[in-house]
Chain A
């Protein structure tokens, strides 16, 4: 089993990639050096601590590094007798999600360097994420490049729907996994190669629980909630609504036909996350999409602030091309 992304072999499948070929986890290669120093740990420490092993490994017994006292009373046995094996405690203080966060930080760096606005779209299954994305891309693609990473447990259906709009999309099948993680997104980015200043939409697995905990390197999480779900969803799944910066209330065209209290759902979302912004949209009628695309463009503009280098580089490229062109003409 892959210990980074949690995939059993053949489970995670990034389209166009041998699922496990590109995996080169650091933890995995740690097992390659098989040194067999086989010294027993029952030495009595009256030798002035002068182990003359030729290999220099600094085994710390019960003593803390940098501490000269050998306090064998610290062990679980609270005593020490020569030859009696006793466990030692190792303080590590490691965030369990640290590995994922490292991958996410690398992704975030990738996006920042290229002035790409990356959004992580999360929702329960069937709230209309893919339809919303298709409509969004149709409205944006004349002005901006759009790229999509589609996360689902199985099938490439969603990526195909996105590709029909003309945008470049890649499907990541998580197999038994319930969320995308930073590592999967990193690999997908390698295949997608999004252009500078583009929009990168990451459609997470339909799940209002697990994706909340896994940073992918996105600028914002956008939670999609449809009016056919309950008003209390934000209270039932507070972690997700807390993690999101924007809530898209989708399928508002159905409001006249159903019993759904918009004010209540907004109040519930704000209760969990006072800073959350709420936009009402309908992906089928296009209602509210002016606001949504305005938010997207404004957020992208904010992401581009402080990146004059990007603009200069691009204009420099153009000059180069022009110069090259005029040189070609003169020649």
Chain B
């Protein structure tokens, strides 16, 4: 359940940004979540509503941008999309793949008033 802490991290960023970019209400939060980030999107949505209650993002909607996890297959010599860290290459079945992305865990943009 570290999604709760993740949401508290999001709220913290929102509060800091509200000071520097001068807004009072957050209406939408766009976050990018990779499949290897260790975050369960449903748990994040649940925690988001709980954590944002009473804050400047009380009624904010969480928009999750789910990215693909990618890896470089040494055998195919090209990037492939994987689902889990220990997946073999979906094209050739080789285990010689190097994960290149999928750990994204970032706030991309906000819709504010």
Assess whether A242 is in contact with B12, with CB atoms less than 8 Å apart. Answer: no
Q: Which of A76-93 contact B (CB under 8 A)?
A: 76, 85, 87-93
| CB of B4 closer than 8 Å to a CB of A | yes
Residue in chain B with minimal CB distance to A214: B2
Q: How many chain A residues have a CB neighbour from B under 8 Å? A: 45
Q: How far is the CA of A136 from the CA of B105 in the complex (A)?
A: 36
Query: Of B5, B36, B95, B110, which contacts A90 at CB under 8 A?
Result: B110
Number of A-B contacts (CB under 8 A): 114
Among listed A1-9, A112-120, A280-288, interface-contacting one: A1-9
Q: Which of B74-113 contact A (CB under 8 A)?
A: 84-86, 95, 105-113
Q: Which 7 A-B pairs have the closest CB atoms?
A: A210-B2, A6-B5, A238-B85, A90-B110, A3-B12, A87-B111, A96-B9
Assess whether B13 is in contact with A89, with CB atoms less than 8 Å apart. Answer: no
Assess whether B1 is in contact with A92, with CB atoms less than 8 Å apart. Answer: no
> How close is A149's CB to chain B, nearest CB, in angstroms?
18
Q: What 1/0 flags go to B1-20 for Cβ under 8 Å of A?
A: 11011101111110111010
Assess whether A239 is in contact with B85, with CB atoms less than 8 Å apart. Answer: yes
Q: What 1/0 flags go to A1-33 for Cβ under 8 Å of B?
A: 101111000000000000000000111001100
Assess whether A210 is in contact with B106, with CB atoms less than 8 Å apart. Answer: no
> How close is A59's CB to chain B, nearest CB, in angstroms?
5
Interface centre among A85, A92, A268 (most CB of B within 10 A): A92
Q: How far is the CA of A186 from the CA of B108 in the complex (A)?
A: 29
Residues of B within 8 A of A212 (CB): 38
Q: How far is the CA of A94 from the CA of B11 in the complex (A)?
A: 12
Residues of B within 8 A of A328 (CB): none
Assess whether A30 is in contact with B19, with CB atoms less than 8 Å apart. Answer: yes
Query: Of A96, A178, A210, which contacts B13 at CB under 8 A?
Result: A96
Q: Given A87-B113, A213-B38, are A93 and B107 also a contact pair (CB < 8 Å)?
A: yes
Assess whether B5 is in contact with A177, with CB atoms less than 8 Å apart. Answer: yes
Residues of A within 8 A of B110 (CB): 89-90, 92
Q: How far is the CA of A215 from the CA of B105 in the complex (A)?
A: 14
Query: Of A30, A96, A268, which contacts B10 at CB under 8 A?
Result: A96
Assess whether A60 is in contact with B21, with CB atoms less than 8 Å apart. Answer: yes
Interface centre among A87, A177, A238 (most CB of B within 10 A): A87
Assess whether B107 is in contact with A96, with CB atoms less than 8 Å apart. Answer: yes
Q: How far is the CA of A31 from the CA of B18 in the complex (A)?
A: 11
Q: Which of A25-67 contact B (CB under 8 A)?
A: 25-27, 30-31, 57, 59-60
> How close is B76's CB to chain A, nearest CB, in angstroms?
18
Residue in chain A with minimal CB distance to B110: A90
| CB of A134 closer than 8 Å to a CB of B | no
Known: A4-B8, A96-B6. 16 other contacts (CB 8 A): A1-B8, A3-B12, A3-B15, A25-B12, A30-B19, A60-B22, A76-B111, A88-B111, A93-B107, A96-B9, A96-B106, A97-B6, A210-B5, A238-B84, A239-B85, A242-B85
Q: Given A6-B4, A239-B38, A272-B85, are A92 and B111 also a contact pair (CB < 8 Å)?
A: no
Residue in chain B with minimal CB distance to A4: B12
| CB of B31 closer than 8 Å to a CB of A | yes
Subset of 22 A-B contacts with CB under 8 Å: A3-B8, A3-B12, A27-B15, A31-B15, A87-B111, A88-B112, A89-B111, A90-B17, A93-B107, A96-B13, A97-B6, A99-B9, A99-B12, A99-B13, A177-B5, A181-B5, A210-B2, A213-B105, A214-B2, A239-B38, A242-B85, A271-B86
